[in-house]
Chains A and B, each alone.
Chain A
Amino acid sequence: MKNKNVKVENFVSKKGNKRRQFLKMSGLAIAGSGLILSCSDDDDFTEPAPEPDPDTFDLGGGDLGVLNYAYALEQLEADFYTKVVNGSYWSGAAMEEKQILEDLYNHEVNHREFFKAALNANFDAEVVLPESLEFDFSSVDFSDRDSVLETAQLLEDTGVKAYNGAGKIIETAAYLVIAGKIVSVEARHAAAIRSIRGNDMNDFKLFAGDDIVDEATGLDGAEDPSVIINAAGGFIVTPFTANELP
């Protein structure tokens, strides 16, 4: 897991430095507001926490926050696969890989549209995350098989960790079940992409490799939104905050 993370960090930071810096700042804002809550009488701060920016969209808390968060992640994945199926690697790919990536495109666009519909059916428009977040995939070479598959694996593994970590924040059982219906499909995706890459290198265990599933416990990852948003920051252009999520 360590190795994979290091690789991913390098990979993301290659061309996305600006984005990373932005997201690091928003990560700082999250940590800062936590400090205010826990020690508001303490005036030993060396750096004051930044004021919340009224122009920056905040995902909100509870079910709303988790749904907005999932909507952001599904927008990210859908945008990625849209670029994949419009790229030259995909158009010339072997039949099996082409079909898998087209399936993933369809699934992720469907997830994105589901969250859009669910949010708009249940919440006022002004608290729903905007539908056209902007992403920066300039670090990905859509004509290059390795670049596309490596990024797909990163996004799917991240999606699994994100849903696994967000489950505990969900308040309504029906939303939890739907998140469960989606996360297992993300895990199926992650395993399929890993399987393709693993077969390339004769690593037949990569679908659920020791780098992603803990050997001792047999558990997949689970991360809080702040960790995920920070990790995906290299791809995210449109600023948003998650001040009410852990």
Chain B
Amino acid sequence: MNLIKFLDEFTTESLNKKGASRRDAFNTLSSLGKKAAIAAVPFGMAAGANKAKAATMYQENDVVGALQLALTLEYLEAEFYMKALDSGVLGNSPRAEAIYQQISKHEDAHVALLQGALGSNSVDSPEFDFTVQGTFDPFMEDANTTQETAYAQLLALAQAFEDTGVRAYKGQAGNVMTDAGVLTTALQIHSVEARHTSEIRRLRGLDGWITLAERGMGMPEATQPVYNGEDNLMQGGVDVSTLGNGEPFTAEASSQAYDEILTGDEATTIASLFIVE
């Protein structure tokens, strides 16, 4: 039922009506704080600007562009989990294997859902390089890589992809809010990505939530852009560590309680690391 409703939103007319939505989103941003000063919130995709590798594929229509970005990220995740399960690297951990199977099932479903929704506006899957030109070997393709190393990289990459997915979907919310059906579906994917990352993080021995801008123990420095900005404490113009009458909230707990967005450009830049031109 969700799928059909979702597809119904994608008539040509409904897509053509969305032109003004980004400007509207920017205008309404300023109405949040009647008394409180508004924090500067980076927002949405800067269409056409800063052409990162994959960005040129996306249309400038807000809803279509947002879904094309989402589809690209889902392609990345779906292929990653499929290869992870095929690699045998998870073979020693029934828990890890079960977790990857469940996530893989969801990412495949997200790809199919978004392809169906986009129809002829669907983008093709890029060619991915999960080794980042030989920096990583998560699938243990090189005989010199130990299973332990491959396993650690496989988990670290999953965490980076899932935390990126959560932030990227959130960053597109304003671009799809003109279309209630698309928005609801995007939110329903977004929270599943958050469930995934919570579990991957816990599998890695971390908390399910992000503290300040910490990428967490054992995460390669290259993944830091996924976490930059997560230490933000200003929500709607309010410093959330100062709220309430009781003992003050720590900055750590206050940052954990809110996930932050990535703009389309930021998400694209992160994904581009793994995309072969």
- The residues of A with any CB-CB pair to B shorter than 8 Å are 100, 103, 106-107, 109-111, 113-114, 116-118, 121-122, 160, 163-165, 167-168, 170-178, 180-192, 194-195, 199, 204-205, 207-209, 213-222
B85 cross-chain contacts in A, Cβ below 8 A: none
CA distance A195 to B250 in the complex (A): 26
CA distance A121 to B185 in the complex (A): 31
Known: A122-B35, A172-B28, A176-B177. 12 other contacts (CB 8 A): A117-B238, A118-B238, A172-B32, A175-B32, A178-B236, A180-B173, A189-B198, A189-B208, A207-B195, A207-B198, A207-B199, A218-B108
Query: Is B57 engaged at the interface, CB distance under 8 Å to the other chain?
Result: no
Q: Once the chains bind, are A218 and B209 in contact (CB under 8 Å)?
A: no
Q: Once the chains bind, are A177 and B43 in contact (CB under 8 Å)?
A: yes
Cβ contact of A177, chosen from B41, B99, B196, B244, cutoff 8 A: B41
Contacts A110-B253, A177-B41: A185 and B258 contacting too (C-beta < 8 A)?
Answer: yes
CA distance A191 to B250 in the complex (A): 23
Q: Once the chains bind, are B207 and A180 in contact (CB under 8 Å)?
A: no
A174 cross-chain contacts in B, Cβ below 8 A: 28-29, 31-32, 38, 41, 236
Chain B contact surface mostly? helix
B54 cross-chain contacts in A, Cβ below 8 A: none
A221 cross-chain contacts in B, Cβ below 8 A: 188
A100 cross-chain contacts in B, Cβ below 8 A: 207-208
Query: Is B132 engaged at the interface, CB distance under 8 Å to the other chain?
Result: no
CA distance A189 to B95 in the complex (A): 19
Q: Once the chains bind, are B170 and A177 in contact (CB under 8 Å)?
A: yes
CA distance A175 to B237 in the complex (A): 12
Q: Once the chains bind, are A181 and B195 in contact (CB under 8 Å)?
A: no
A178 cross-chain contacts in B, Cβ below 8 A: 235-236, 258
What is the CB-to-nearest-CB distance from B28 to chain A, in angstroms, rounded to a whole number? 5
B36 cross-chain contacts in A, Cβ below 8 A: 121
